[in-house]
Amino acid sequence: MRLPKLLHAAAPFYAWLSQVPNSPISISIIGDKPSCARPLVFISSFIAVACLAGCSTGLVQSSASSPQPSSSDDSSLSSELAASAANFVDSAGVVTHLSYTDTPYYTHFPAVLSALEALGIHHIRDGYYPWPSSSPIVQAHNQLAAAGIKCDYVVPYNTATTPQSIESFAPEVGDMESLELPNECDLAGNCGGATGAGGIQNMLSLLPTVRAAASDLNLPLLGPSLTQQSSFATVGNLSSELSVNNLHIYFGGLNPGNEGWGVGVDAEGNGYGSIPWWLDQAAIDAPGLPSVITETGYMAYPSTTTPYTLPESVEASYIPRTLLLAYTYGLKKTYFYELLDEVSSPGYGLLHGDLTPKPAFTALQNLLALLNDSGGGSFIPGSLQYSISGAVPALNYLLLQKHDGSSWLVLWLEESSWDQNTATSIPVAPANISINLSSLYQATTDYQFDSNGNATPFNQPMHGNSTSLTVTDKISIVRIVPR
């Protein structure tokens, strides 16, 4: 695995932000010929994610022979601390636009709510406006709150906004969990500025108002989302004003673990546009604070020949990997842009405009469902002993644990499967990997994801204390339990 750079130390923060380890987390690998199985099927009131027809192994076999399992005893295995599966699931969010009255967000809100519940996401990002309590938009937020879905409210630049107007709005909607400074003010024309610099100054003038409301409501305040590298220095150090930094990370059709592109590297040696590069910018804006991604995603279509867009089959691989990588880098929340296709942002939705799911929706839904942990009470994850044979540089992994003591190892090859410039496929060679477990544990199931977002479970045989697996650029999740 290419280990990410360690994050800046996070200051004490609010309970709504999950505890994410500041160092990379462990994982394992598996393989052998699985028996036939049917993919997972998720159904909501308006969505039926169809299972694959027929029965196949779902594995791409490499011409290379599988690594030989190790015969070493438990004392030779490394012990890795797992992260909480529940905290990982809680890191997922999605952007909505409930006030867009000419879209299904408004005209078909019951179906939108059903989609959110089916997806398994408990956090949305939307805009603040002082609607009256009788507004259908306020009533929609009430229904979200009743469903256990909370909202990060972006406060737009408006000189009429006061702390009191925000504070009186919070109990009306019931789902407010954080406040965010105005959106992308460094783009000319945004936030009342003729230039990006003017927009930034207007944003800074609103900061005391939003900060006061957040303080009175005891809510976290998210910093400004910026689009230009120079804007971070222009804004300056806001760490004393904010609770958390805020990033908008788009990859322009590249895989989420790309090492950057374009204008070279920053002072830390990280390539422009990569996740580490964005975290370096956050260290300028609010050093020492944790960060969230409030926008990330891809413009995807069933098929495409347009540069910098993706076919939906590739997006189904990149979206779950984005969430996994963000969590591994210590980002506390990741909001995907956006829930559904609409006129102002075609292609970005996890759902089509008619509310049918794209493969990325299905993939994210399956990922969150498999890792959901309904166990109650406090929980401190433990460690797992393992070693890997046959690891390749592109191998990425994340070790998670649930209340019941089961460990869940998510693994994938962080490679690009799409050339964003020529809009053509790039083949990704699979890797055969073996993992050696402590004699106290065994692998039981390997859930393999495909280009439709389906997750097919296979029995995972053990050979002594070892098991083997073929890994691809689509995620696999391996369940490991005590013997």
Question: Is residue 172 situated within a structural domain?
Answer: yes
Q: Is it the case that residue 55 has pLDDT exceeding 70?
A: no
For the four alpha carbons of 420, 422, 424 and 425, in that order, the dihedral sign comes to negative
Among 149, 119, 143, 173, which Cα is nearest to 338's?
119
Residue 440 lies in a domain: no
Phi, psi values for residue 243, rounded to 5°: -100, -30
Q: Which of 18-32, 155-169, 219-233 has the lowest mean pLDDT?
A: 18-32
What mean pLDDT is predicted for residues 332-360? 97
d(Cα 188, Cα 200) in Å, to the nearest integer? Answer: 10
Closest CA to 250 of 238, 262, 266: 262
pLDDT in tens, 448-477: 999 999 999 999 999 999 999 999 999 999
Q: Extract the runs of DSSP E, i.e. beta strands, from 300-348.
A: 300-301, 310-311, 334-336
Report the 10 Å Cβ neighbour count for 95.
23
Mean pLDDT of the chain: 87
Classified as helix, coil or strand, 106 is: helix
What's the mean pLDDT in 288-292? Answer: 98
Residue 253 counted as domain residue: yes
Residue 54 resides in a domain: no
Give the pLDDT confidence score for residue 258 in this predicted structure.
98
* pLDDT of amino acid 76: 80
Please give the pLDDT value at position 387: 86
How many Cα atoms within 13 Å fall on the side-chain side of residue 117? 17
* 27 to 112, 411, 429: CA distances (angstroms): 35, 7, 20
Q: What is the pLDDT of residues 331-340, one digit of tens each?
A: 999 999 999 9
The answer to whether residue 385 sits within a structural domain is no
The pLDDT of residue 40: 45
Q: Quick one: pLDDT at residue 73?
A: 67
Domain count, the chain: 1
Q: Please report whether residue 73 resides in a domain.
A: no
The pLDDT assigned to 96 comes to 99
Predicted TM-score (pTM) above 0.85: yes
Rg (CA), the chain: 22
Is it the case that residue 328 has pLDDT exceeding 80? yes
pLDDT at 420 over 80: yes
Residue 214 domain-assigned (yes or no): yes
Contacts of 417 (CB under 8 A, 6+ apart): 255, 314, 317, 425, 426, 427, 428, 473
Q: What is the pLDDT of residue 5?
A: 26
Domain assignment of residue 220, given as a range: 86-371
Give the confidence band of 299 by pLDDT, cuts at 50, 70, 90.
Answer: very high
Q: What is the pLDDT of residue 449?
A: 99
Q: Is residue 425 over pLDDT 80?
A: yes
Asked if the structure places residue 384 within a domain, the reply is no
pLDDT digits (tens, 9 = 90+) for 165-218: 999 999 999 999 999 999 999 999 999 999 999 999 999 999 999 999 999 999
* pLDDT at residue 62 greater than cutoff 60: no
Per-residue pLDDT at 13 exceeds 70: no
Close Cβ partners of 460 (under 8 Å, ≥ 6 residues apart): 30, 32, 34, 443, 444, 445, 446, 467, 469, 478, 479
pLDDT at res. 378: 81
Residue 263: per-residue pLDDT: 77
Instruction: Determine which of 50-54, 104-108, 143-147 has the lowest per-residue pLDDT on average.
Output: 50-54
- CATH number for the domain harbouring residue 100: 3.20.20.80
| Dihedral sign (CA 415, 417, 420, 425) | positive
Q: What percent of the chain has pLDDT over 70?
A: 85
Residue with tokens 């049918």: 356
> In the predicted model, what is the mean pLDDT of residues 20-29?
37
Q: Over 70: is that where the pLDDT of 56 sits?
A: no
- Tens of pLDDT, residue by residue over 234-289, are 999 999 999 999 999 999 999 999 999 977 899 999 999 999 999 999 999 999 99
What DSSP letter does each residue of 195-206 carry, written as one string? SHHHHHHHHHHH
Given a cut of 50, whether residue 41 has pLDDT beyond it is no
